Chains A and B, each alone.
Chain A
Amino acid sequence: MSTDVTDRSGPGIRGDGAVGADNATDRRVRRLLFGCAVITVLTTLAIFFVLIDNAASYFFGAKLTEMLLGASVERTVTFTEFFSGTRWAPDHATPGHGVLPIVFGTLAITVGAAFVSIPIGTATAIYLSEYSSKSVRSKLKPTLEILAGIPTIVYGYFAIAFINPVIVAPIAETLFGINMGRYSLLSGMLVVGIMTIPMVSSISEDAMSAVPDDLRNGAYALGATKFDVSTRIVLPASISGVFASYILAVSRAIGETMAVTLAAGMQPQITANPFAEIMTMTAYMVKMARGTTAVGTVEYQSLFAVGLLLFVMTLSMNLLNDWFKRRFQEEYR
């Protein structure tokens, strides 16, 4: 090993071979650390592999790996049934394999949550970046960070013990005469909206704070009011960061599990009634994991088909976010 080291270290000052040994150590460490970094790539590959491998057995009756070893392929669930069926009950005696009801649940929660987090988060960001005094800012920012650091299970508890019985149920009963159960779509939307406010506000605020003061001062010099500057100068100038925060919040809402499971329930259905119990894709996965689902059954396999769909949805959101940042990022120096 020392032969290929000596020419690297050049004329040795110490000349006792220790330099060569040190360099050899350096390269061994470098290789070891590279191995550490590769683990993160392997994790992604493993996620892909596990999801596709197991989802394959849901659709074709055999895992990808088993197919390669020559297992017979039979269509157990067709893609048409999966993507267009409107009854989701893979664990039922007469199973339904249409994923639409739980995709609806996830999208309904996501859209509803966006209606809460996007306006409130953006307004908070404008307030923090443009209006608040330093002392207010130094208190408001950490407070919102606390909101972001609270575990999702606690939000789930907040929904089932407070938002649903104390806020949503009385509204349903007094205004619409609906006697509501423990779970509702609306409380799921609200609680996920509340949890994603800090994501929108902090990332948007970073983008707004990066807008140089010259732009603001230019507008003021033309007689613009603070409202004009905030909405017509700062917001458009920071729009790439602001949109990135929206996409992140949406991605987070799609993958959100515990809060929606405890808030919105486990009843797969497509409904326009915000006081009805629904089921998201993640809630279905929790339901299956709670049950005594045996490995190899179609229920177990459905878990991975849903998981793969969820993964693809969040991944495309993240890629969209990347693309957006690269495409529209304005650099102010």
Chain B
Amino acid sequence: MSSETDHDLFADVDLGWEHRKNRIFLGLIFAASMFGVLMLALLLFDVATDFYVGLTEYNINLVDFFTRDGSRREELSGFRGAIVASITLMVLVTFLAFFVGVGSAIYLEEYAPDNRITRLIEANLANLAGVPSIVYGLLGLAAFVNGIGMGPILLAGAIALGLLVMPIIIVSAQEALRAVPDGVRNGSLATGATQWQTIRNVVLPAAMPGIMTGTILALARAIGETAPLIMVGAIFINRMPRGPFDRFSAMPTQIYNWANEPSQHFIHLAATGIVVLLSFLFVMNLIAIYIRHRYETEI
């Protein structure tokens, strides 16, 4: 840049322009960073105002909203069936995905030899995490709803969601297990404990807060998933599901139904449903953060 000049090192550099260029660049990237924040604010503001307008102008009664099931008639529609379905789904997904997910993580972190099978499982995990959620819905539809003749029941939806969040649970559990220092393991092994005794009595208790946090965040992902549930046929059902073998419509699918209706009343019902769904997510994240902070210092 300055090799030809003898006297003034910066003769060919317009410092004023360099200065302006830097400030313009900073302005641009700062504006870009704020764009995401602005969009989040707009989204929350839009949902909040639609929720408020629904309460005031469309007379959506929150007590009715929580005690009535869905209905074709907008003024009779509520969210109870969808909430019950979503909570049942969460319980089933936990049962289906937690033990298998944590088991896989323990195998991969504590037992697995470094061979081709292990590398295949690891590579496959990364790939599964990138499969679109709607494809899990297709799997549920073809294999469980129609394949073994389950029908569009809650359990079929739970299986689809369980398979969807399994890679997330495994990866977060692996991270939690990896965070347990090796000294703890070696100490236990040195006392004569077998590997499984070491895992069960020493490693797992130490890793449990991290595993719980990861599982709750995975469930938070599952509770908002819509596409797999639509694919297994969880749509246009208004009544409350009576157990895992009943047909159902969960919170996100009910919101989708309402948002798709041309009537403004239904749009505001959708906004009210979104407030409930986001509250669920908020509480689940709070619990996850609490667990993380509560047990953070123990290892």
Contacts and interface: CB of A to CB of B under 8 A. Distances in A.
A complexed with B: yes
B127 A257 contact: no
Interface in B12-59: 18, 21-22, 25-26, 28-30, 32-33, 35-37, 39-40, 42-43, 46-47, 50
Contacts of B202: none
A131 B259 contact: no
Interface stretch (A80-88, A142-150, A169-177): A142-150
Contact of A255 (B30, B103, B127, B133): B133
B252 to A, nearest CB: 5
Contact of B104 (A37, A156, A198): A37
Interface stretch (A68-76, A92-100, A212-220, A306-314): A306-314
Contacts of A257: 132-134, 226-227
B67 interface: no
B259 to A, nearest CB: 5
Nearest to A155: B43
Interface stretch (B75-83, B178-186, B206-214, B267-275): B267-275
A124 B230 contact: no
B201 interface: no
Given A123-B29, A131-B26, A40 B274 contact: no
A290 B230 contact: yes
A178 B84 CA distance: 44
Contact of A30 (B121, B128, B166, B196): B196
Given A120-B35, A156-B259, A255-B135, A317 B227 contact: no
Contacts of B111: 30, 33-34
A231 B25 CA distance: 10
Contacts of B40: 143, 146-147, 150
Main SS of chain B's interface residues?
A: helix
A127 B33 contact: yes
B256 interface: yes
B138 A303 contact: yes
Contacts of A230: 25
A64 interface: no
A157 B138 contact: no
A66 interface: no
Nearest to A143: B37
Contact of B134 (A155, A251, A307): A307
A135 interface: no
Nearest to A21: B194
Nearest to B140: A50
A37 B121 contact: yes
Nearest to B260: A262
B102 to A, nearest CB: 8
B121 A289 contact: no
Interface of B: 1, 18, 21-22, 25-26, 28-30, 32-33, 35-37, 39-40, 42-43, 46-47, 50, 99-101, 103-104, 106-108, 111-112, 120-121, 123-128, 130-139, 141-143, 146-147, 163, 166-167, 170, 192, 194-197, 220-221, 223-227, 230-231, 233, 235-236, 252, 255-256, 259-260, 262, 267, 270-271, 274, 277-278, 281, 285
Given A34-B112, A51-B142, 7 more contacts: A26-B194, A33-B107, A50-B143, A124-B33, A140-B37, A257-B134, A262-B260
8 contacts: A30-B111, A33-B104, A120-B36, A140-B33, A149-B281, A153-B224, A157-B259, A197-B36
